Each structure stands twice: as C-alpha cells, then as structure tokens.
Amino acid sequence: MTRFVVVCVGIVALVLSAIVPGVFAAADDIKQCPSCKYCGMNREQFAFSRTYIEYDDGKAEGFCSIHCAAVDLAVHIDRFPKAIMVGDYSTKQLIDAEKAFWVIGGDKPGVMTKRAKWAFATKEGADAFIKQASGTPGTFDAAMKATYEDMYQDTKMIRDRRAAKRKAMEEQKRKEHSPK
C-alpha cells in the first residue's frame, strides 16, 4: 500500500511539473542563482523584484529585476522562455509573471530603473499598492514594453551611478594613501 502511495505521489508531481512549468525548479531559485548575472545584485535581498526564467533548452537564469531579465531576453533572442517567474512584491514568493497583476510607475523607485515595475499575485495587492504609492495597473506585456522603452535611460542612469561610485572610491583611496 505504501509503495502505491509513493508511486501515485511521484506521478502527480511529474504531471504537475509538466502542467505548471517552473514551480518545482524555481522553488530554490535563490540558491541556484544567488546573484544577478548582469549586475551582480543579491537576489535574496531583492526577492520582491527578482525574476527567474526557464528556457526551453532546459537552462534557467535568475535576475534581480525585470530590467535585467529583459536584457537576457534580448541578448538570447533564439532561446524561448518556457516559464517566466517574478517575485510578488508583498510576499516575495515567485509567481507566474504573465498571470501577475502589475503596477507600473508610482512614487517608489524601481530596481535598476527609474520607472518601477512591480508584480503582485492578486489584484487586491496591486490595488493596495497603488493607493499607497500610486502607479498604473498593467499586464506583463505592458511591464515588458515599459522596461524596453526605459532601457536606454535606465542603462545611462546605472552607468552614471557606477561612475560616481568608482570616483568616490578612488578619492577615498587617494585620501588613505596620501601623506598626512
């Protein structure tokens, strides 16, 4: 009898993994991809904005935000995403990006972008966020379109911030090594 139960549970797990791609592989997405491959940001620290893409070639990639995920999708134009998961802003749990309720813009700064794009598992979660921090409700397609529209300005902003940080670090090193 116990062997039968184990076999049944195994079959159910296989069927679910085929029906709901990404659920089982994405369970440990932060352990599999602890930092974003493009910017190096800690994905656990940014669990509320992280993304996880499973491609049809069996490979999966993790990113800090929809911005870095969009970079990967553009760079790997011939790889087809089987599943795109995103962190729910409120719970930090991975959810299906295409089924998520998105909030675009608002008063809260985004991750790797000026114009934020936040995902929520429920419409109520998105509506509550909009009441608190404004923004516009949207779909995954609208969030991706906004991401690509913002890409140049966001990349320029990131480069400028990194240049300023490097300059400050160099200045600090000069002060530490200069005679007193």
Give residue-wise pLDDT tens across range 89-129. 999 999 999 999 999 999 999 999 999 999 999 999 999 99
More confident residue, 101 or 175: 101
Q: Average pLDDT, stretch 65-90?
A: 97
Cβ neighbours for 43, distance < 8 A, ≥ 6 positions apart: 29, 30, 33, 34, 35, 36, 50, 62, 63, 64
Q: What is the pLDDT of residue 27?
A: 66
Q: Please tell me the distance from the alpha carbon of residue 15 to that of residue 12, in angstroms, as a whole number.
A: 5
pLDDT the model gives residue 178? 79
Percent of the chain with pLDDT over 70: 84
State the pLDDT at residue 3.
Answer: 55
Average the pLDDT over 36-47 and give the result: 96
d(CA 54, CA 137): 26
From residue 18, alpha-carbon distances to 31, 140, 162 in Å are 22, 22, 42
Residue 48 pLDDT > 90: yes
Predicted local distance difference test score (pLDDT) of residue 12: 40
The structure tokens listed for 23 are 């659920």
Secondary structure of residue 69 in the 3-state scheme: helix
Identify residue 154 by its one-letter amino acid code: D
Rounded-to-integer distance, Cα 130 and Cα 113, Å: 18
Predicted local confidence at residue 15, as pLDDT:
39
